[in-house]
A and B are shown apart, each in its own frame.
Chain A
Amino acid sequence: MTVPIFEARDVTYSYREVTALDGLNLTIMPGQRIVLLGANGSGKSTLLSMLDGLCFPEKGSVAFQGEPLAEDRLIGEVEFAFRRRVALVFQNPDVQLFNPTVFDEVAFGPLQLHWPKEQVRLRVTEILEQMEIGHLKDRSPHHLSTGEKKRVALASVLILDPEVLLLDEPTAALDPKSESQMIDFLVSCSGGRKTVVTATHDLDLVEDIADYCHIFRRGRIVAAGTPTEILNDHALLLNTNLVHAHRHAHAPGELHSHPHRHGHRH
């Protein structure tokens, strides 16, 4: 029987008086591409931090491959082993890019995990070329565009070749070209090679990058299903603030509003 890669049971977490996760239950199997859908403030980022072992539940438990993910267990070699296998790409790339140059940034993870320096040099060069950011090697983060920062942030975790990728709003604030490159990468993760958990409120991504979706509302999962099931449930999407009604025109002179989402054509 396959052990779930992550299992969260009755997880509760609060930021002072604000409840971020409220009795949440979730199971993620190896190789799945999961999308966590929800409006801003619904608890998606908090859950990702918890899955990355950066914060721990006040009540309930989170397990990684059957082992409890607890603060007193995630130390020393156990933590090293976990960090090699699970990687988080933060929503704000300025948080993740804390080194003076792109090269230093991508090399940071392997150096902390005690890779030999020569191996780090070679692998950094390889990953920069694969991500088509080799020309940014000596640039400082404040000289990068948002799209470039996101690609460097992604490179800085992919260099470790983690089994699990946690992505927090990976396409937020990206121009169309950068967004399409990011989506291409997420699509390439299909086939069970990696477990990918993506937090987003952008419904346009879901069909391309997800095998399964969980809908968040006020710290709880209120629905789950395949992308087709979720996207066809308009009442659910409206209720969870994932679609909206605004005035738009179907034809010149015909202005009206109804809940809808913007999609794409083939």
Chain B
Amino acid sequence: MSSKVRRKPRMAVFKFASCDGCQLSLLDAEDELLGVARALDIAYFPEASSAMLKGPYDIGLVEGSITTHHDAQRIQDVRRRCKTLITIGACATAGGIQALRNWKDVDEFIRVVYATPKYINTLKLSTPIAEHVPVDFELRGCPINKHQLIELITATLAGRKPNVPTYSVCLECKRKGNVCIAVAQGVACIGPVTQAGCGALCPSFDRGCYGCYGPMESSNTESLSHQLHILGQNNAEITRAFRSFNAWAWQFRKAGEESERT
């Protein structure tokens, strides 16, 4: 056996403003976790380990959005230490549900939640990682799909393009043989403009898609807003439909603002 052992690639997991669910997806890959740990060195993952290597890292997974001055600086440092930087989940790729502040007065928000507002330090906007540093791949979802995460890590290690489809939820629905709930039951569904990845979960549970994977590449939100009107949704309801976990993604942002104006 050769005395020279090739160093295993190092992976780090960083957290910004988030619910921890996307990084938990890695621990929820119960069947793959020990295999992943054999293929690479999980060098920094505070949620799972107290051993923290400084880096540099071959792969950095970033969860969460930027909401504080400190985090805006920290992400610069994280970027410098990661060869490949991958953002995971709606917070990191679109600002998350906490980006609802972006249309409101954050100082008023602080007063509503906290008795002593001066103790709280936060930015006016919650923004995705790519607004701060270059990102090599954005994995969508609220939460991400753990199988897509494993595929992405595998592809990155192999130096190939990950197989992560960018078509809409409608295709997943068709493939599952679901009857379209918008057409058949008149249920409001934003699946036609939402990126696949969840496996068309909500329509499979007799409810409309609420867009947790964010806008698909070429989404026609204008046409969908029109359809939602026909189904009886008012402007406030349509605004809310676009304004949830991926509210700040530009297509949903534009669609929400348009229905808010009309």
Does B associate with A?
no
Interface residues of chain A, those whose CB is within 8 Å of chain B, are none
Interface residues of chain B, those whose CB is within 8 Å of chain A, are none
